[in-house]
Amino acid sequence: MSCRNVLITGCSSGIGLALAVRLAKDELKRFKVIATMRNLEKRKGLEEAAGEAMNKTLEIRELDVCSEESIKECVNSIPGRQVDVLVNNAGLGMIGPLETQSISSMKTLFDTNFFGQVRMIKEVLPDMKQRKCGHIVVMSSILGVQGLLFNDVYSASKFAVEGLCESLAVQAMKFNIKMSLIQPGPVTTEFEAKVYEDAAKIDLSGADEETAEIFQHIYIPYSEKIFTIGQRPEEVAEHTMKIITSNNPPFRHQTNRLYAPFIALKQADPSGNLPLDAFYRLTFRQKRIFNASLGLLRLLLRRKQKDVDS
């Protein structure tokens, strides 16, 4: 197979950085990685992790998914504008009570997580259609399938991405273009620190006392515990690499089997009441069940790790 150009957005940290490095260090040298970031001053981490691959199988370019001009400039700089695989990874998180969040902060989130993806796809789709070849890989989330309290707007942005891709995928198929949505659960990246940092600045006086209490004393501690068993970005990169190298890539792929039961609840009950009840109980009624489930998840994770190591 010839070398494929892979353009990845949001490579200054986390999943984007890990994926760029993984593809660039491919033993079979199947990829030329165009690792992009909006702020080139943050390139050091990627340069160090890429090591010898730098300027051989990996090049760093500037790209802000919120600027059409920046996207065009980057894609035009690629010989023949040839993007064989687009990985739409750049994204922001946002948590908190809806009443405390400004419409302008929600628009910023959508501008990145949804319109950023749209801008990227619009830029490469006509070329891919002409070549009758290409793969669009999109970093969605389990929250693109299942909503979660205090993640209202973030989850909505990922649902929007899922709807966009599900609609486009059939047309893409006609032009031999593949589309894949990657759905990770919690991943231990800068994402986590950034959302907690932003959450600490929320003016909770914009919400009633009970809501503020639930957010601070139930959601935040639960969420922190959940992240202690989050995936590493390298694991998500490995999953994504498998999707990219697959001859017949799936349209949707969950990277963490621990979250399959939450999605199964949704699929099991079209009325939607089953997952709502389960989340309600887990959050408000069953502190002991939540902690016990977490213990079980940890055990399963340790077993899985042992299997991988042996």
Ligand X SMILES: CC1=C(/C=C/C(C)=C/C=C/C(C)=C/C=O)C(C)(C)CCC1
Ligand Y SMILES: NC(=O)C1=CN([C@@H]2O[C@H](COP(=O)(O)OP(=O)(O)OC[C@H]3O[C@@H](n4cnc5c(N)ncnc54)[C@H](OP(=O)(O)O)[C@@H]3O)[C@@H](O)[C@H]2O)C=CC1
Residue 301 CA to residue 307 CA, distance in Å, equals: 10
- Counting contacts by CB under 6 A, is residue 186 touching ligand X? yes
Cβ closest to ligand X, residue 54 vs residue 278: 278
How many residues of this chain bind ligand X (CB under 6 A)?
A: 12
Q: Tokens for 175? A: 């032009």
* Interatomic CA distance for residues 243 and 252, integer angstroms: 10
Query: What is the C-alpha separation between 254 and 187, in angstroms, rounded?
Result: 12
Assess contact for 116 and 9: CB atoms under 8 A: yes
Positions marked active-site: 154
194 is in an annotated binding site: no
Please state the closest distance from residue 228 (CB atom) to ligand X, in A.
11
- Please report whether residue 143 would count as binding ligand X according to CB under 6 A: yes
Which residue(s) pair with 86 in the sheet? 7, 136
Q: Which does 245 bind (CB under 5 to 8 A by kind): ligand X, ligand Y, none?
A: none
Q: Does 219 bind ligand X (CB under 6 A)?
A: yes
Q: Which does 225 bind (CB under 5 to 8 A by kind): ligand Y, ligand X, none?
A: none
3-state helix, strand, coil in the chain (%, to 5): 60, 15, 25
Output 175 or 222, the one with its CB closest to ligand X: 222
Judging by DSSP bridges, how do beta strands 4-8 and 85-88 pair with one another? parallel
Could you say which of ligand Y, ligand X, none residue 15 binds, taking C-beta under 5 to 8 angstroms by partner kind? ligand Y
Residue whose CB is nearest to ligand X in the complex, by number: 141
Measured from the CB atom, is 17 or 53 closer to ligand Y?
17
- For ligand Y, which is the closer residue by CB, 91 or 212? 91
Count CB-CB contacts under 10 A for residue 232: 13
Report the distance separating Cα 5 and Cα 264, nearest Å. Answer: 36
Give residues in contact with ligand X (CB under 6 A): 141, 143, 148, 185-186, 219, 222-223, 226, 279, 282-283
Give the residue ranges of the annotated binding site.
10-38, 64, 141, 158
